[in-house]
Each structure stands twice: as structure tokens, then as C-alpha cells.
Amino acid sequence: MYSKKLKAPEHQVAGHSAKEGKLGPLVDGEGRFFKPFQRDFRGKNEAKFYEFFSSNKNAPNHIHGYFPAYHGTQVVEASNGSGKLPHIVLEDVVTGYVKPSIMDIKIGSRTWYPDISEEYFNKCLGKDRGTTSVSLGFRISGFKIFDHQESSYWMPDKNVVHGYNVDEARLALRKFVSSNSLSHSIPDCAFASKIYGGSNGILAQLLELKAWFETQTLYHLYSSSVLMFYENESVLKKGGHDARAQVKLIDFAHFLDGNGVIDHNFLGGLCSFIKLIQDILESSDNSDETNTFRFKNGH
Ligand SMILES: Nc1ncnc2c1ncn2[C@@H]1O[C@H](COP(=O)(O)OP(=O)(O)OP(=O)(O)O)[C@@H](O)[C@H]1O
Ligand SMILES: O=P(O)(O)O[C@@H]1[C@@H](O)[C@H](OP(=O)(O)O)[C@@H](OP(=O)(O)O)[C@@H](O)[C@H]1OP(=O)(O)O
């Protein structure tokens, strides 16, 4: 039985939040993340995914690194005062990040899947159509971006983020790697090459995941998210190499057995997300070249 005092995660950006006195995840402050079993089949299903995947020898080691480490399940006091509940115990993937910028991106043009209730189908279809899921193949579920000019966080309400259109989603991805004030209409993408680019950057990690999703037929991940984050404390330092930009996959309450077929819904959404990141990198590389050219030629 776990007795350490648990608290609401400081850096949670989407999903059910314990901060509002509701049922939500908790952390122990020492690297463990406690996700309460969600209602119906969801909690058991997510625990089953972690049980299967954590012992799956077919997935390469570097792919295992993109998933939070799984530490089993434990019964602990729920955040909403309803008593003790089973929780999935995971690695708290943002442990050690002091001032992270974090974004949760729900991957897939659709979150509904075969054999669900009419009610849940309509709920998912409504959200998919009402957000960028259908048009972009993914939707931003939530984020917090550190504003270096204001020395504060920009964390819009989830309903505002859910209302983003394609252009607003693109703008948020550009602001995620910008150093100028987030209220500025033209983000400078000054950190794009450090965070999105480079051999260990976000894009390189997404491409590794893409290569695996092009062949893996074990799981179909519905409503799962890419969680990307980096450390602002060090991003301004020369090189910014210890910004520790990371990609993790989370939220497997709605996973299905792959039945020998690739997960084309997730793969398609992931490819679309990758394309937007590549576009930002290319445009920021071009502007870097332009600025260098102007500097060298006294423009
Ligand atoms: N292992 C983890 N370590 C640190 N933070 C995490 C971890 N898993 C999730 N989070 C944080 O919690 C948020 C919600 O996670 P998750 O999507 O699993 O919860 P949820 O309530 O099922 O969400 P949804 O309502 O979208 O299904 C994420 O956006 C992220 O900020
Ligand atoms: O509360 P439920 O029934 O588990 O469904 C949640 C819920 O719809 C939640 O929306 P909100 O109540 O936090 O506004 C959804 O979050 P997003 O809209 O950010 O995706 C969850 O995805 C729902 O969970 P599920 O998809 O498992 O039904």
C-alpha cells in the first residue's frame, strides 16, 4: 500500500485534472505518476496495454523509451476524496524539468473505433469534426509554453485550445519554439533548430516512432497522445543542447489489438504532425540563412 503524500502534477497540460478536486492523476514528487483507473473499461484497458507492452520483446529498446516506464498498479487515495482507488503507476516523464514547455497532441484523424456505443461514437465524431483531428490528423489537447519575455507561462484554457483551427494549431507549434513574447503575432521560432531539429531533437524522435508505426501491427492506439517537452532553464544557454527535448507517447485507455494490420489512423496523424514540424524547421532555417545573408551583406 502506498502511503507517501501524493499531489496534483505541477506540469499537467491536458486530460482530467486533480487540481479541480476531480478525479485526476497524482505524483509523488520522486518520479512516479499515479493515473486513476478511469470509468468503465478504460482503466483496466490502459493497465492491460502497459502490462502487454512493457514485457513486449518484439518492440525495439529505443521504442520502449518513448513510453513511460510501467510500475504496475496500486490502490491509493483518489484525488476527489472518493476513497481508495486502483491507479496505474508510471514514470513521471517530466521529473527533473524545472521550467518545461509541454504540449499534448492527440494523434489520429478519428478517436472513434469499431464496436463502440452509438453515444460514444457520436461524442468522438463531434469532437473530431469540431477540432483539427479530421482536417489535420491530430489535435492539440493542451499545452504550457514558457514566455521568456514575460518570465511566465502561457497556458490557454482547454476549450480555447480545442477550438483551434489549422492556422491556430500551426501558430501554437511555432510559438512552442519561440523566444519572443507569445503575445507577439509573429513568433520568431528562435529555438526551432535546437528543439525540433538536431540528431536528438523532436523531429528525429518522431521519425523513429514513424518507422516503427510503419511496421508494427500489435496495437491500434485511439485517443493516444504525443507529449513533447523541453527545459527552458537551459535553452538560452550556448548551444541549448541540454534543453532535453523529449517525445513520449501516453494515454492508452482506448487501445485495441492490431490484428496484424498497421495502425493507419495513428500513423497518418503522426505523418501529418511530422510534416508541420518539418515545415517550421525549413522556414526557420531559411530565415536564419536570410538573416545571415543580410548580416554579411550589410542589409
Ligand atoms: N507518465 C506521465 N508523466 C508525466 N505527465 C504525464 C504522464 N502521463 C500523462 N501526463 C500528463 O497528464 C496529462 C493527461 O494525461 P492522460 O491523457 O493520460 O490523461 P487522461 O485523463 O486520460 O486524458 P484524456 O482526457 O485526454 O483521455 C498529459 O497531458 C500530461 O500533461
Ligand atoms: O469523462 P469521460 O466520459 O471519461 O470522457 C472524457 C471527457 O469527455 C473529456 O472531456 P472533458 O470532460 O475533460 O472536457 C475528454 O477529454 P478531451 O476532450 O480533452 O479529449 C476525454 O477524452 C474523455 O475521455 P474518453 O475519451 O475516454 O471518453
Which of 87, 90, 159, 227 most suits a substitution to test ligand 1, by most atoms within 8 Å of the C-beta?
227
Q: Which of 28, 63, 91 is the last residue of a domain?
A: 91
pLDDT number for residue 19 = 86
Q: Are residues 141 and 272 in the same domain?
A: yes
Of the listed ligands, the closest to the CA of 133 is: 2
Same domain, 84 and 110: no
% of the chain exceeding 90 in pLDDT: 85
- What confidence score (pLDDT) does residue 185 get? 78
* This prediction's pTM: 0.94
pLDDT(49) > 70: yes
- Ligand 1, atom 23, residue with closest C-alpha: 15
Output the DSSP codes for 226-240.
EEEEEEHHHHTSTT-
Indicate whether 151 belongs to any domain: yes
10 assigned to some structural domain: no
Confidence tier at 230 by pLDDT (50, 70, 90):
very high
Query: How many Å lie between the centroid of ligand 1 and the Cα of residue 33?
Result: 9
Q: Whose CA is nearest to atom 11 of ligand 1?
A: 12
106 shares a domain with 86: no
Query: Mean pLDDT throughout 58-85?
Result: 96
* 247 has a pLDDT exceeding 90: yes
Going by CA atoms, what residue is nearest to atom 9 of ligand 1?
A: 250
Cα–Cα distance for residue pair 131/111, rounded to 1 Å: 12
Report whether pLDDT(299) > 70.
no
Statement to judge: residues 119 and 180 lie in one domain: yes
C-alpha cell at 175: 510559438
Report, as an integer, the average pLDDT of 257-263: 97
| Residue 173 shares a structural domain with residue 33 | no
The residue range of the domain holding 115 is: 100-298
What value does the mean pLDDT of the chain take? 93
Examine the domain organization and report whether 49 and 184 are in the same domain: no
SS3 221: strand
Does any ligand 1 atom lie closer than 6 A to the CB of residue 284?
no
Taking the C-alpha atoms of residue 168 and residue 61, their distance in angstroms, rounded to an integer, is 36
Report the C-alpha gap between 20 and 273 in whole angstroms. 31
pLDDT tens profile 80-136: 999 999 999 999 999 999 999 999 999 999 999 999 999 999 999 999 999 999 999
As for how many domains the chain has, the answer is 2
Domain boundary among 91, 116, 134: 91
Q: Whose CA is nearest to atom 8 of ligand 1?
A: 250
Domain identity same for 74 and 109:
no
pLDDT at residue 47 above 70?
yes
Q: What is the largest CA-CA distance in the chain?
A: 69
199: Cα separation from own chain's centroid: 20
Average pLDDT of 209-228?
98
CA atoms of 47 and 79, how far apart (whole Å): 19
Q: How far is the CA of 155 from the centre of ligand 1 (A)?
A: 16
Same domain (yes/no): 285, 224: yes
Asked if residue 55 and residue 188 are part of one domain, the reply reads: no
Q: Is 90 in the pocket of ligand 1 (CB under 6 A)?
A: yes
What is d(CA 98, CA 155) in angstroms, rounded to the nearest whole number? 16
Q: Which of 29, 62, 91 is where one domain is finished? A: 91
DSSP 152-221: EEE---HHHHHT--HHHHHHHHHHTT--S-TTSSS---TTHHHHTSSTTSHHHHHHHHHHHHTT--SEEE
Same domain for 66 and 114, yes or no, is: no
